[in-house]
């Protein structure tokens, strides 16, 4: 008897502990699907991975595979559009040490609503993005060691396909807060995060910490999009928060 499919969340805030590289530059995401990939025979059994196709202005296509964790816990759905829990596994989200998590977190940091990642992964198809390289430290997994290296992640989102934009607007419309009430709320959360984990943090790391503090907040999506905007961060001096855009550092100095 086949077991019912139980999908896992792709939201960075729901993550659990636990091939070639696209060059830096501007690309359009032209494909996205979950597959089992053995990374040239170096991973046995093959690992569930997110395969993302990038096309540059010259029409040159490249594909990057982002490992999502262990095949013991996760497996691609039949359509390849989602990850599901493997039979016998109790996992509920991505491994937050995985490259798939780092890639999806970079999307959220660049302003893409993580609420859209609760469904099919093809929601990212059509995004016009800048790809940068992020250094990843050596990591130990139960079944293998992954050497330190850099992986391609999203540094900036220039635009989206019309369908994606419509979905983002629908998700944003669910927010209960207005800009006037959201800014103080986002500011308060940011102060709490910096006091607990700072007093200085890299901007790229702040979203992950904020995710954990606003998981049940109905304005979560709007807050997460607000805290990654330079214009918002630069206006927090009176709250005792300084933003060094050149270093990508956010500092709490009191206020």
Same domain, 209 and 103: no
Per cent of the chain over pLDDT 70 is 77
Percentage of the chain with pLDDT > 90?
A: 22
Residues 6+ apart with CB under 8 A from 205: none
Question: Do 130 and 209 belong together in one domain?
Answer: no
**Residue pointed to by tokens 């901007």:** 203
Question: Within 10 A of 51 (CB to CB), how many other CB atoms are there?
Answer: 18
**Does 160 score more than 80 pLDDT?**
no
pLDDT attached to residue 182: 82
Do 31 and 117 lie in one domain? The reply is: yes
More confident residue, 11 or 105: 105
Residue 6 located in a structural domain: no
Neighbours of 106 (CB within 10 A): 24
Residues ≥6 apart with Cβ < 8 Å to 165: none
Domain boundary (116, 147, 168) is at 168
Do 147 and 24 share a domain, yes or no?
yes
pLDDT at 222 over 80: no
pLDDT above 80 (res 249): yes
Determine how β-strand 139-140 pairs with β-strand 145-146.
antiparallel
Which of 107, 139, 168 corresponds to the end of one domain? 168
Asked if residue 232 is part of any domain, the answer here is yes
Same domain, 153 and 189: no
Q: Write the pLDDT tens digit of every residue in 28-61.
A: 999 899 998 877 667 778 889 998 999 998 888 8
Residue 123 domain-assigned? yes
Residues 32 and 152 in one domain: yes
* Among candidate residues 82, 80, 84, the one with its CA nearest the CA of residue 71: 84
For residues 162 and 181, membership in a common domain is answered with no
Res 215: pLDDT: 66
CATH number of the domain enclosing 219: 1.10.10
Domain around 237: 175-252
CA atoms of 75 and 70, how far apart (whole Å): 8
Vertex 50: Cα angle to 102 and 114 (nearest 5): 55
Please tell me the predicted confidence (pLDDT) of residue 20: 56
Label residue 141 by pLDDT band (50, 70, 90). Answer: low
Last residue of a domain, one of 168, 200, 225: 168
Residues 183 and 139 in one domain: no
Question: 228 and 162 in one domain?
Answer: no
The number of folded domains in the chain is: 2
Determine which of 31-35, 79-83, 183-187, 220-224 has the lowest per-residue pLDDT on average. 220-224
User: Mean pLDDT in the chain?
Assistant: 79
Q: What is the pLDDT of residue 27?
A: 94
- pLDDT tens sequence across 87-101: 888 887 788 888 999
Greater confidence, 221 or 68?
A: 68
Predicted confidence (pLDDT) at residue 174 exceeds the cutoff of 70: no
The residues, ordered by sequence, that sit 6+ positions from 199 with a Cβ below 8 Å of its Cβ are 251, 252, 253
Distance CA 190, CA 112 (A): 19
The token pair at 179 is 């800009």
pTM of the model: 0.57
Based on the domain organization, do 88 and 189 belong to the same domain?
A: no
pLDDT of 121 above 80: yes
**Domain co-membership, 85 together with 184:** no
Residue 26 has pLDDT above 60, yes or no: yes
- Same-domain pairing of 158 and 123: yes
Residue 5 within a domain? no
For residues 114 and 195, the model is more confident at 195
Residue 142 reports pLDDT greater than 80 = no
């Amino acid at each position: 008897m086949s077991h019912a499919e139980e999908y896992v969340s792709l939201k960075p805030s729901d993550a659990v502990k636990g091939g070639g590289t696209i060059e830096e530059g501007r690309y359009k995401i032209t494909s996205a699907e979950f597959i089992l990939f053995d990374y040239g025979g170096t991973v046995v059994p093959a690992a569930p991975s997110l395969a993302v196709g990038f096309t540059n202005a010259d029409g040159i296509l490249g594909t990057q595979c982002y490992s999502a964790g262990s095949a013991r816990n996760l497996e691609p759905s039949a359509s390849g559009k989602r990850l599901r829990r493997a039979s016998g596994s109790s996992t509920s989200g991505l491994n937050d040490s995985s490259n798939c998590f780092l890639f999806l977190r970079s999307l959220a940091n660049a302003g893409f609503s993580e609420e859209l990642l609760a469904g099919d992964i093809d929601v990212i198809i059509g995004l016009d993005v800048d790809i940068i390289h992020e250094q990843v430290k050596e990591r130990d997994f139960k079944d293998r060691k992954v050497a330190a290296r850099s992986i391609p992640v999203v540094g900036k989102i220039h635009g989206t396909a019309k369908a994606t934009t419509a979905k983002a607007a629908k998700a944003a419309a669910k927010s209960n807060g207005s800009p006037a009430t959201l800014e103080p709320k986002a500011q308060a959360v940011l102060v709490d995060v910096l006091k607990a984990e700072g007093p200085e943090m890299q901007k790229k790391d702040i979203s992950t910490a904020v995710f954990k503090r606003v998981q049940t907040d109905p304005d979560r999506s709007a807050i997460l999009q607000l805290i990654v905007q330079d214009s918002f961060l630069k206006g927090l001096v009176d709250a005792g928060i300084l933003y060094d855009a050149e270093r990508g550092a956010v500092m709490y100095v009191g206020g």
